[in-house]
Amino acid sequence: MVEWVRTMPTQAGLERRRPDRRVFIILLLRRLTVYAIGASVLIWAVPRLLVEFGVIGPSPDETIAAAERALEAARTYGATPDMPPFVAAQKELERARSLAAQNHGRDARHASKHAQDLAIEAQRQAIVRRDERRHQAELVYNDLDRQVNELEKLYSSVTPGLDKQQVGELLSLMKATRVVTGAVFLAHEREDFEAVVDGEAKARAAVAQMKSRLEAARR
């Protein structure tokens, strides 16, 4: 009896160290790993497949509406027909509407999603261009404001020594110059930076003409 008791732990230890038991455990762990990977793939792939085939997720009408909102936002940011992504987004949106009307839901969702991506790119380009225009408009405004202030000082220094007829002519021309430059300043106040840049050439020409007349009158 004592001998049997002494040999029990030894036999249990040998049982735990049997090679076939270790192989079984390794195979079990490998299978569990494979099952876990398979489950992860299913968790990742199944929802996407269900969305792809329209079982779950937004309907074609919803994706088209999202693309329309993205396009409208692009317009708000200043996107114009000269931007390729904006034009492409409009065409793709029309294609999505046509596909939806023909009950091609899957293709309509793809087209509207593509339209939305293009519209977002148009938004980005519009924002970049607007910031560039803002910077350019600030440079125009500051420089033109400086030129007009100098012109006003020149006018005030030249006209007191002139006859009435000359003063009247210069005053009329000065008023016209103020109107042209004032339109640029007003556009800047309204943050219409496109109008500021567009009106630069005309305003500078008016200032240059007025300055030339004043310098000629002073001589």
| Amino acid 23: pLDDT | 66
More confident position, 40 or 12: 40
Domain-wise residue ranges, the chain: 18-56, 60-128, 131-218
CA distance 121 to 129: 12
**pLDDT for res 24:** 61
Residue whose tokens read 């007829």: 165
DSSP assignment of 50-61 equals HHHTTSSS--HH
Nearest to 174 by CA among 192, 154, 145, 194: 154
At 71, the amino acid letter reads L
**Residue type, position 184, single letter:** V
**Stretch 17-42: mean pLDDT, rounded?**
68
Residues 130-138 have a mean pLDDT of 94
Question: 48: pLDDT confidence band, cut at 50, 70 and 90?
Answer: low
Global pTM exceeds 0.75: no
> Cβ distance 137 to 197 under 8 Å?
yes
Residue 173 and residue 210 in contact, taking contact as beta carbons nearer than 8 Å: yes
d(CA 92, CA 63): 12
60 versus 40: which is more confidently predicted?
Answer: 60
The answer to whether 53 and 106 are in contact (CB under 8 A) is: yes
- Tell me the C-alpha distance between 86 and 127, whole Å: 13
End-to-end CA distance of the chain: 137
* pLDDT band (50, 70, 90) for residue 218: confident
- Measured at the CA of 69, the angle between CA 101 and CA 121, to 5 degrees, comes to 105
Give 195 or 3, the one with higher predicted confidence: 195
pLDDT digits over 146-196, tens only? 999 999 999 999 988 888 888 899 999 999 999 999 999 999 999 999 999
Residue 95 CB contacts under 8 Å (≥ 6 apart), including other chains: 111, 115
- The amino acid at 211: K
Q: Cβ–Cβ contacts within 10 Å for residue 84, how many?
A: 12
Q: How confident is the model at residue 33 (pLDDT cuts 50, 70, 90)?
A: confident
Which carries the bigger pLDDT value, residue 46 or residue 42? Answer: 42
